Amino acid sequence: MKLNHPLNKGSRGTKFEKKVWNYLITIKKGSIKTYKQVAIAINRPNAARAVANAVGKNPLAPKIPCHRVIRSDGSIGGYSGKGGIKTKKKLLKKEGIIV
């Protein structure tokens, strides 16, 4: 982990949650992934629900861009950051993603 990495600033979470959050940082601006795709990417292909729970506990939204993760059915899912789903839609729209 890099020294200026957002998770180095005293974030609390389980090993699994931090693994998910670290992956979220790699999702490029203007891109989206599903919870299932994140689970596969972290080598936990059957853990989509656990990934969704970890994403929901993200302590540094939107710095850790959990707004870039949606449901497999294409629906937006939740957003635990300030402003909830309204903010998630706004952030995605700002990145050129129409939801």
Query: Which residues does the annotation mark as catalytic?
Result: 66
* CB-based contact 88:81 (threshold 8 Å): yes
**CB count in 10 Å sphere of residue 56:** 16
Q: Directed axis angle between helix 15-26 and helix 48-56, to 10°?
A: 80
Please give the torsion angle defined by the CA atoms of residues 59, 62, 65 and 66, in that order, rounded to the nearest 10 degrees.
60
